[in-house]
A = this chain, B = another copy of it.
Amino acid sequence: MIKEGETVQLSDGKNRFFLKVKKGEIFGTHKGNINHDDIIKAGYGGEVKTHKGHTFIVLRPTIHEIIMYGIKRKTQIVYPKDSGYITLNLGITDGMKVLESGVGSGGLTIVMANAVKPTGKIYCYEKEEKYIKNAYENIKLAGLERYVEINHQSLEMPLPENFFDAGFIDVREPWLFMENIKKSLKKGSPIGFILPTTNQVSKTIQALKESNFIDIQIVELLERHYKPVPDRLRPEDRMVAHTGYLIFGRKGW
């Protein structure tokens, strides 16, 4: 059921570990060591024991869990509440060629790569070399490296023209590169942005209008969790109040 090379999640209800299984190897935790062969034998939903007798359950990780608990964060990540919405709004699907810049920690890259597989690809442009290695490791953890190409390159540099079916931009000053971004998109292709401040939103909207993008929208999503207690149901005391404003448009004419 579990194939070699697949990423599995081990959970004991408190701790979660993510690993790629490989026959003969051993995975060390603070609760003891686990044989990869035992994981393969147990299968998804099965149990494995460490050499100290501690039990973990083997779970197929969801994209959501990989992003929230599995990847190493070297940057602010795009949260699942946003990345699910972005992917639908950009219409990311099998076979598409998608522009992404920067790659950050690869959280959104993973979601979009999962959506373009098996015949599409995410083309990342990241100017900070220090993020690329980490992002690549995270994408590999999700088993999606085949669908991602990371270029160590800023958006200032020329991009392939009239090439991308969609794009998502997460850089500080996207308005500086708007014409370059536009050229790289096919006509009518959707583009998205995430920006933390209202000042950046104003400048980006302005640039989108000047570059004749159409169908411009600005959205924010608020995620509120509740305590799962049937007879005392209530929201959690605190929540994330802001990740970023999402902007969407389509390349016009």
Contact = CB atoms under 8 A, between A and B. Distances in A.
A88 B201 CA distance: 27
Count identical subunits in the complex.
4
Interface stretch (A31-39, A131-139, A224-232): A224-232
Given A62-B88, A114-B93, A188-B57, A197 B232 contact: yes
Interface residues of A, number: 84
Interface stretch (A18-26, A77-85, A98-106, A121-129): A77-85
Interface string A218-253: 111111111111111111111111100101001101
Interface stretch (A152-160, A176-184, A202-210): A202-210
Interface in A144-203: 165, 186-190, 196-199, 201-203
Contacts of A165: 60
B223 A219 contact: yes
A226 B234 contact: no
B238 A240 contact: yes
B206 A230 contact: yes
B230 A59 contact: no
Nearest to A209: B230
A223 B61 CA distance: 27
Given A219-B226, A238-B238, A62 B89 contact: yes
